[in-house]
Amino acid sequence: MILEIMQKEADETKLAEEIPLKILAHNGLVGRLIGKEGRNLKKIEHETGTKITISSLQDLSIYNPERTITVKGSVEACANAEIEIMKKLREAFENDMLAVNQQANLIPGLNLSALGIFSTGLSMLSPPTGPRGAPPAAPYHPFATHSGYFSSLYPHHQFGPFPHHHSYPEQEIVNLFIPTQAVGAIIGKKGAHIKQLARFAGASIKIAPAEGPDVSERMVIITGPPEAQFKAQGRIFGKLKEENFFNPKEEVKLEAHIRVPSSTAGRVIGKGGKTVNELQNLTSAEVIVPRDQTPDENEEVIVRIIGHFFASQTAQRKIREIVQQVKQQEQKYPQGVASQRSK
């Protein structure tokens, strides 16, 4: 109806151009709307007799995560295309919500709504009508902002993303490995994106030099407290998905390395590998503690974590928890822990 009114106005003012339909959609959903090699979009164009274009990635920033989908054709054709486009966007959104729900109970005390970090950080879908069919109190825009995505999943966590618990160290270092071809996207033009990301997360983010000419991965060194780690790593996972470095239907899985004191590595592994197996079952991340590592100058060894964002984060937090428990025990019973380890 809106298009018809606009078209009538255009005809009366003798405007020669056709009136396009424009739809805003979060960039995290656009890759799946387009489909592999543009197949989904071509199919909608073919079936509805429209021409569909999508605004450039260059227009995006941390503060503007939306792309403009422009549909051209007759009023009826545009209306039919809108139905198919929204169907695809909603399907992508609901798949993301499902993935979040599956991980919702793994990170206690986490206020995801305050972080707004994900490529699919969308508003929760509010119903088109209020109670008993009353109109909604606020404008209904299912794919609008990226701040309220998780608000209804975590209604009781109002006190910041992580509990202020003395057991968390102030600064953590995580090495995250990204595809070499994605380095430019993470850095951005003249380093704009990586600087913006560091400010947003409150972390130091550096990309280590390539170890050779043909390496397939590069190391991103992230330094900051737990909340900063969560934000920075979440943005990087999201960026790789947005820029289609992974297949639209494929989950972004990256390898992260954290260092733990060599004295606690045994506790992370557990008797007969029990703890590490439990960690893997709980988080669905692959956790590897190489047994034959030589500790570095700080008497630390590397733990490798491979998985999607939530899995990796949960594993990182659980491992840090184990390390803190061991440290506290060593402070209380220094000789007892040492003698236990010698056994």
Last residue of a domain, one of 101, 116, 137: 101
pLDDT greater than 50 at residue 246: yes
Q: Is residue 106 in some structural domain?
A: no
**Tens-digit pLDDT profile for residues 298-334:** 889 999 999 988 889 888 988 998 998 888 887 877 6
Q: Which helix (H) or strand (E) holds 306?
A: strand 300-307
Domain limits at 283? Answer: 172-342
CA-nearest of 277, 279, 270, 290 to 315 is 279
In this structure, are 92 and 203 located in the same domain? no
Q: Look at residue 206 and give its three-state secondary structure.
A: strand
What is the reported pLDDT for 7? 85
Non-local CB neighbours of 95 within 8 Å, separated by 6+ positions: none
Closest by CA to 284, choosing from 261, 259, 251, 260, is 251
**Are residues 182 and 77 part of one domain?**
no
- In a domain, residue 20? The reply is yes
Between CA 72 and CA 170 the distance in angstroms is 53
Return all residues near 164 (Cβ < 8 A) that are at least 6 apart. none
> Strand order in 172-179's β-sheet?
204-207, 217-224, 172-179, 254-261, 300-307, 286-288
**What number is the average pLDDT over the span 123-148?**
37
Pair (52, 189) in one structural domain: no
Within a domain: 23: yes
Q: Is residue 108 part of a domain?
A: no
For residue 110, being part of any structural domain is answered with no
Which positions ≥6 away from 141 have C-beta within 8 Å? 123
Are residues 68 and 216 located together in one domain of the fold? no
96/192 same-domain check: no
Q: What is the DSSP string of 171-192?
A: -EEEEEEEEGGGHHHHH-GGGH
Which is more confidently placed, 92 or 221? Answer: 221
pLDDT tens for each residue of 32-58: 898 888 889 999 999 999 999 998 877
- Do residues 333 and 199 both lie within one domain? yes
Please report, as a single letter, which amino acid is at residue 133: G
| pLDDT score recorded for residue 259 | 94
Please tell me whether residues 184 and 86 are part of one structural domain. no
Q: Please say which residue of 52, 85, 101 terminates a domain.
A: 101
Q: Classify residue 146: in a domain, yes or no.
A: no
Residue 51 lies in a domain: yes
CATH at residue 266: 3.30.310.210
Q: Are 197 and 97 found together in one domain? A: no
Global pTM value: 0.55
Is 62 among the domain residues?
yes
Domain boundary among 81, 101, 121: 101
| Same domain? 40 vs 180 | no
CATH of the domain at 30: 3.30.1370.10
Confidence at residue 127, expressed as pLDDT on a 0 to 100 scale: 35
Domain count within the chain: 2
Residue 15 DSSP class: -
- pLDDT confidence of residue 99: 63
Residues 251 and 333 in one domain: yes
Q: Are residues 184 and 326 in the same domain?
A: yes
For the chain, the 3-state helix, strand and coil shares in percent, each to the nearest 5, are 45, 15, 35
Rounded Cα–Cα distance for residues 120 and 98 (Å): 12
Q: In what order do the strands lie in the sheet with 66-72?
A: 21-26, 66-72, 51-54
The phi-psi region of residue 174 (left if phi > 0; otherwise alpha if psi is between -120 and 50; otherwise beta) is beta
Neighbours of 63 (CB within 10 A): 8
d(CA 57, CA 30): 11
Q: Which residue has the higher pLDDT, 287 or 341?
A: 287
Same domain? For 177 and 315 the reply is yes
